[in-house]
Structure 1
Amino acid sequence: MLVPMTKDPQAPQLARLAALIADETRAVCLLALLDGRAWTAGELARHAGVAASTLSEHLGKLVAGGLLTEERQGRHRYVRLADARVAHLVEDLAARVSPDTVRGPRNLREASAGSAMARGRTCYDHLAGRLGIALTDALTSRQLLVQETGFALTEAGLAWFETTGIPLDRTGRRPLARACLDWTERRPHLAGVAGAALCRHALSEGWCVRIGSERAVKVTEEGKRTLAELLGMDVKALR
């Protein structure tokens, strides 16, 4: 007689999580919220191309499932990704989608937006795309970051962040440096506390600016000069 195996207690939770993401409208919302900002339900409904009532039902499921958090201000309902772990989960899953299964752009506008996103974008709270990879490569080549057994800042790397004026919050449980698989480049870029701090500093100092209504960013002329001076980066590849 077969002896029934003890079911892993995590199996039901994993199945519920997979079911939450396994809907195209909810996937569209999760990908949009990778920009790290709070969106209104109306903005997400227009972005997903569905009725407000339909979108509200989907948001309720994502909030109940712990993938989103919400807050209300007056008549508006704002939602954002619950935390960095959710962002990494979504980005990692997107990176594992075969390029052969993704439809091409339907028009010039979509093609331009896709090109901009591949060139440089935010992945929740850190930089991704070719820009994120270039920054990661520059930090690694200068021995400020090591990747052999997972991402880690070296002593020189910690000193670089300090002298550059980029504070690192080391009081929480979030890893100081973490590898995040880039879904367009298929290579890891820098995430974690250091990745978030570098992105925040780049935007606040005007090294990068957001463009369009998506997550795309571009390097400014000031950013090109500064990144060349600080990290020896050749930003021509980011054009």
Structure 2
Amino acid sequence: MSGGDVDIARTAALFADPARVRVLTALADGRALAASVLAVEAGLSAPGVSAHLAKLRAAGLVEVERSARHRFYRLRPDAVEILETLARFSPAWPVTSLRSGTRAQALRFARTCYDHLAGRLGVEVTAALVERGALGAADGVRGTARRPGDRLSQPLSEHPYAVGPAAAEVLAPLGLDLAAVDACRGRRPLLRFCLDWSEQRHHLAGALGAALAERFLERDWVTRRRPGHRALRLTPTGADALAELLGVRMA
């Protein structure tokens, strides 16, 4: 502590509002999220979450990052430490409604991003393709972590990946003929990648990503939770297939 008195009560008051704590908790895993996403995860209105974010920013607990027209909010590491310390001394929160939480969790788990797979399922499948040599990273970075300069929730204008030496061998059991996908893609790039907004890692897009998502739906490895909704459900058949073919095990 620096010299002189400090107003601990003012800072502590920021953690005393249940709605604001839901915003803080949604950011506690280190993700940078847009206000609209935070509103869904915290079960708040857009004006409500904006008011809470303004107070948290004024107190220096939350940082903001701009990407295109959007703002993404991130909890400072020392604020995460405060939240974790308070959690150790706090009783469990009673569950009164699962609707908004369930919807947010479903979108984070698996969804479509335009016509390709996103969410935890999308990034895990992409990581498995890199790990098994279907995709290779030219920059020498292992895995699908965000690279410096990658813009949040945006397609990557440039990416470090290329078709790997084991691509045909890995993709064939998934029902994909790499040469056929490449021949039918037109002007669309075979490989493109997005920085997933919920997982903050890369997921596969482009013609290959679209073909992969189409095959998963055709084989009923994933199904839409309801018509017109982006959230996907991983079926037991799909879970078994991904575990066997890619080593991807999703809880």
TM-score, normalised to structure 2, is 0.51
Cross-structure match for 1:232:
247
Tell me the number of residue pairs that the alignment of Structure 1 and Structure 2 aligns: 140
Does structure 2 retain, via aligned residues, the 8 Å contact 1:95–1:181? no
Cross-structure match for 2:11:
none
In structure 2, C-alpha distance between the alignment counterparts of 1:230 and 1:120, rounded to whole Å = 19
Counterpart residue identity of residue 228, structure 1: A
Deviates more, 1:148-157 or 1:194-203: 148-157
Counterpart residue identity of residue 198, structure 2: T
Counterpart residue identity of residue 210, structure 2: A
In structure 2, C-alpha distance between the alignment counterparts of 1:124 and 1:219, rounded to whole Å = 18
Structure 1 residue runs of 4 or more that deviate by more than 4 Å after TM superposition: 92-96
Aligned residue for 1:234, secondary structure, equals coil
In structure 2, C-alpha distance between the alignment counterparts of 1:183 and 1:144, rounded to whole Å = 24
In structure 1, C-alpha distance between the alignment counterparts of 2:172 and 2:225, rounded to whole Å = 29
The CA deviation at 1:153 is 1.8
Cross-structure match for 1:97:
72
Does structure 2 retain, via aligned residues, the 8 Å contact 1:133–1:188? yes
Question: How do residues 9-20 of structure 1 correspond to structure 2 at under 5 angstroms?
Answer: none
Q: Does 1:154 align with 2:164?
A: yes
Cross-structure match for 1:196:
210
Counterpart residue identity of residue 139, structure 1: L
Higher helix share: 1
Cross-structure match for 1:45:
none
Cross-structure match for 1:85:
none
Does structure 2 retain, via aligned residues, the 8 Å contact 1:166–1:198? yes
The CA deviation at 1:146 is 1.4
Question: How do residues 118-133 of structure 1 correspond to structure 2 at under 5 angstroms?
Answer: 118-133=108-123
Aligned residue for 2:212, secondary structure, equals helix
Runs of at least 5 residues in structure 1 that lack an aligned partner in the other structure: 1-27, 29-91, 101-106
Counterpart residue identity of residue 170, structure 1: D
Q: Does 1:223 align with 2:235?
A: no
Counterpart residue identity of residue 225, structure 1: D
Does structure 1 retain, via aligned residues, the 8 Å contact 2:216–2:222? yes
**Which of 165, 176, 188 matches 1:166?**
176
Q: 1:164 to 1:132 in 2, by over 3 A?
A: closer
The CA deviation at 1:155 is 3.0
The CA deviation at 1:93 is 5.2
In structure 1, C-alpha distance between the alignment counterparts of 2:114 and 2:191, rounded to whole Å = 15
Cross-structure match for 1:135:
125
TM-score, normalised to structure 1, is 0.53
Q: Which of structures 1 and 2 has the bigger CA Rg?
A: 2
In structure 2, C-alpha distance between the alignment counterparts of 1:182 and 1:96, rounded to whole Å = 15
Q: 1:158 to 1:94 in 2, by over 3 A?
A: farther
Does structure 1 retain, via aligned residues, the 8 Å contact 2:134–2:165? yes
Aligned residue for 2:199, secondary structure, equals coil
In structure 2, C-alpha distance between the alignment counterparts of 1:192 and 1:94, rounded to whole Å = 23
Q: What CA deviation, in whole Å up to 9, does each residue of 1:87-137 have, x standing for no partner?
A: xxxxx859862256xxxxxx6322211110001100011100000011011
Runs of at least 5 residues in structure 2 that lack an aligned partner in the other structure: 1-35, 37-66, 76-96, 140-159
Does structure 1 retain, via aligned residues, the 8 Å contact 2:173–2:245? no
Counterpart residue identity of residue 101, structure 2: A
In structure 2, C-alpha distance between the alignment counterparts of 1:192 and 1:176, rounded to whole Å = 5
In structure 2, C-alpha distance between the alignment counterparts of 1:99 and 1:120, rounded to whole Å = 22
Q: What CA deviation, in whole Å up to 9, does each residue of 1:13-42 have, x standing for no partner?
A: xxxxxxxxxxxxxxx9xxxxxxxxxxxxxx
Aligned residue for 1:169, secondary structure, equals helix
